[in-house]
Structure 1
């Protein structure tokens, strides 16, 4: 089965590391495309393309302010990702619990050896 186009699927859109970097940057507020490009060390056309993809999947909003267009984060668009990754919370909690129990066993064994 072919993957969905990056312009229609949140998961594919955030698979691109530069798009994730843009989302992290936009957590701090609205940015014009030129500043996004400068801050992340990419070309303005490249930043524009990434912002367009993120806007098309609902992760970024834009608004005109005078002659500038500002881009901001639409965190609600990440809900499907959050819900999907949340399904792994039980797995990770169990893994960390097992790791903690193992570390305690090792520590208890080490303490017994020191007492001998």
Structure 2
């Protein structure tokens, strides 16, 4: 299971450069807990038409992280992996890219640059 989940995680964020380093689940690029804010933005943009799919994908990675990081409470890992996707789910996807980017940045709490 680890190999297939790891391969999926690498494919989903390969365009962003912000990939998870396992088993510690830190970002290989910025060393923040993964998914770091840039990875969250990339994932949200990749799944813009399938936000439930993003939640399922992140829940799958959450389960892997719970097994690989037994010393970290599952509730904290839930916040790291899954909770941020709920904020996206409450916002409807829009066809306008600028609006979508603005919504994603608000949902993942990233200060947005002027578009």
Q: Same fold (TM over 0.5)?
A: no
Larger Rg: 1
**Greater share of helix:** 1
Instruction: Bin the TM-score by the shorter chain.
Output: 0.3 to 0.5
Q: Which has the higher strand share?
A: 1
TM-score, normalising length: structure 2: 0.33
